[in-house]
């Protein structure tokens, strides 16, 4: 069964986003990591269930959102409806654009994807901009994987 078949038949995306970031937010007095829309927070990351509508043919779409909030709301980042998308230069991890829900943005590049696990996942310029400064384009983030 291919990754696309697994996703269509109930596979989920398991993704830690960036473990050190989640730990930082959880360690703040007012920090929260909240899942919604079918996503759930687990001990090893966020589980996003398969989605019905892929943004591109051949891509793997997932649904749900996670919102990171801290510093009295100064940190407020939502990552929603991730998708692993094949591009002309390899693979990308896309999310709904938090500034325009009608658009998608490339959040991270993926150096390799074997149909089950991504490797070499790193923030794009747009992905880094969501965090207002502590990360730059190319910052390594947790590699997502598809689980049954």
Q: What integer pLDDT is reported at residue 57 of this predicted model?
A: 61
Residue 11 or 33, more confident: 33
**Whole-angstrom distance, CA of residue 18 vs CA of residue 9:** 27
**Whole-angstrom distance, CA of residue 132 vs CA of residue 35:** 22
CB of 54 within 8 A of CB of 5?
A: no
Candidates 2, 22, 20; CA nearest to 113 is: 2
pLDDT at 9 over 50: no
Query: pLDDT digit string (tens) for 22-59?
Result: 999 999 999 999 999 999 999 889 999 998 665 566 68
Say which DSSP state 39 is in: -
Both tokens of residue 30? Answer: 């007012």
Mean pLDDT calculated for residue range 104-132: 94
pLDDT at 108 over 50: yes
Mean pLDDT calculated for residue range 6-35: 85
Mean pLDDT calculated for residue range 91-118: 94
**Whole-angstrom distance, CA of residue 65 vs CA of residue 59:** 18
């Amino acid at each position: 069964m291919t990754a696309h078949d697994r996703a269509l038949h109930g596979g989920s995306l398991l993704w830690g986003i960036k473990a050190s970031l989640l730990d930082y937010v959880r360690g703040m007095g007012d920090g929260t990591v909240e899942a919604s829309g079918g996503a759930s927070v687990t001990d090893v990351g966020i589980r996003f269930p398969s989605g019905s509508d892929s943004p591109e043919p051949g891509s793997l779409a997932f649904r749900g959102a996670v919102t990171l909030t801290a510093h009295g709301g100064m940190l407020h980042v939502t990552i929603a409806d991730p998708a692993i998308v094949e591009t002309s230069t390899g693979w990308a991890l896309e999310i709904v654009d938090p500034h325009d829900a009608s658009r998608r943005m490339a959040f991270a590049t993926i150096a390799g994807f074997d149909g089950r696990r991504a490797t070499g996942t790193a923030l794009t310029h747009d992905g880094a901009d969501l965090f207002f400064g502590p990360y730059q384009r190319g910052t390594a983030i947790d590699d997502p994987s598809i689980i049954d």
